[in-house]
Amino acid sequence: MGTSIRFSVGVCAHNEGTQPDGSSRLRVWLQHWKPLTEEIILILHDCHDDSEAIAAEFDVRPINVQISGLLEAVLWETPRYANPETWHIRTGGIDEFMSAEALHALSGVLTENDGLRLCWISRRNFCEGVDISQLLGPDWQLDLMRPRPLPIKFKGGIHSYPEIAAHASQVGMIDPQVAQIEHRRSFAEIVRCNRARNGFSSPAQLQMQEQFIARTRELLRANGKEVEE
C-alpha cells in the first residue's frame, strides 16, 4: 500500500451486483479499494443479486443483514467489524473513492498526530464528472476513525450525524488540501437515491430533495451535460 498507517474501508450496499448492461458499481468500488487497504468491510443489506459472488472475486466475505429500521443506522456499522489496529474509512456508499496519493498523505498526518481517534474528512462531490460541490457547500463527514472502542454513537434520522463519543483532543479535521473523499455519482443515481426517501421524509425534506435535483440538472446543463431522470 505504500503507507505506514494500516487502513481498512467499509461500505453498505444494496443490490449493486451485475446490472442488465453488464456493469456493477460494487465491482468498480472493490477494484479501487482492494489494492489500497488492508481490509474491506462489506455489509450487504436485503440483496437478491450476485453481490456476494462479486465480493468473492476479491476475497471479501460480506456481512448479510436485513434492515428493519433506518438505513443510516446500518451505514455506521462497518467500523464495528474492522480490525482495531487499522484506521477505518467509512464510505457512505459505493460511489466514494480516494486516490493512493491522498491515502499516502493522510498516513503522514495520522502518524504525526498519534493521539487522534476520530477525524472529520471532506467530500468533493461530482455528478457526471462535473464538480457540483457549490450546490452542497462544505461537506464534512465523520468518516475516519479508530474502530474500537467506537468513538461515535448513532441516534439520529436521515441526513443526521452521530454523536461523538471521544474527548475533544482525540478529534481532528483533515485539511482538504491533504486528502478528500471523492463522491462520484450519475444524475440518475442522485434522483433515485433522493426519491427513495420519499415514503418517510417530511414535507420540508421532500422540498429540499427536489430543489437539489433541479439545481443539479441546471448545473449539468450549464456544463454541456444533457440529462434525463
More confident residue, 117 or 156: 117
Residue 13, strand partner residues: 44
Task: Give tens-digit pLDDT for 134-147.
Answer: 999 999 998 999 99
Window from 109-123, 176-190, 196-210, 213-227 with minimum mean pLDDT: 196-210
Q: By the 8 A CB rule, do 32 and 93 touch? A: no
3-state secondary structure the chain: CCCCCCEEEEEEECCCCCCCCCCCHHHHHHHHHCCCCCEEEEEEECCCCCHHHHHHHCCCCCEEECCCCCHHHHHCCHHHHCCCCCEEEECCCCCEECCHHHHHHHHHHHHHCCCCCEEEEEEEEEECCEECHHHHCCCEEEEEECCCCCCEECCCCCCCCCEECCCHHHEEECCCCCCCEEEEECHHHHHHHHHCCHHHCCHHHHHHHHHHHHHHHHHHHHCCCCCCC
Task: State how far the Cα of 60 lies from the Cα of 54, in Å rounded to an integer.
Answer: 9
Angle among Cα 198, 139, 177 to the nearest 5 degrees reads: 155
Grid cell of 63 as nine digits: 456481512
Write down the pLDDT at residue 1.
Answer: 42
pLDDT digits (tens, 9 = 90+) for 101-137: 999 999 999 999 999 999 999 999 999 999 999 999 9
Grid cell locating 157: 434520522
| pLDDT tens-digit map of 84-99 | 999 999 998 999 999 9
CA-nearest of 49, 7, 51 to 29 is 51
Res. 2 pLDDT band, cuts 50 70 90? very low
> Largest alpha-carbon pair distance within the chain?
49
Distance between CA atoms of residues 145 and 116, nearest Å: 8
pTM: 0.89
Residue with cell 491522498: 102
* Confidence band, pLDDT 50/70/90 cuts, at residue 160: low
Query: What does the pLDDT look like over 23-57, one tens digit per residue?
Result: 999 999 999 999 999 999 999 988 899 999 999 99
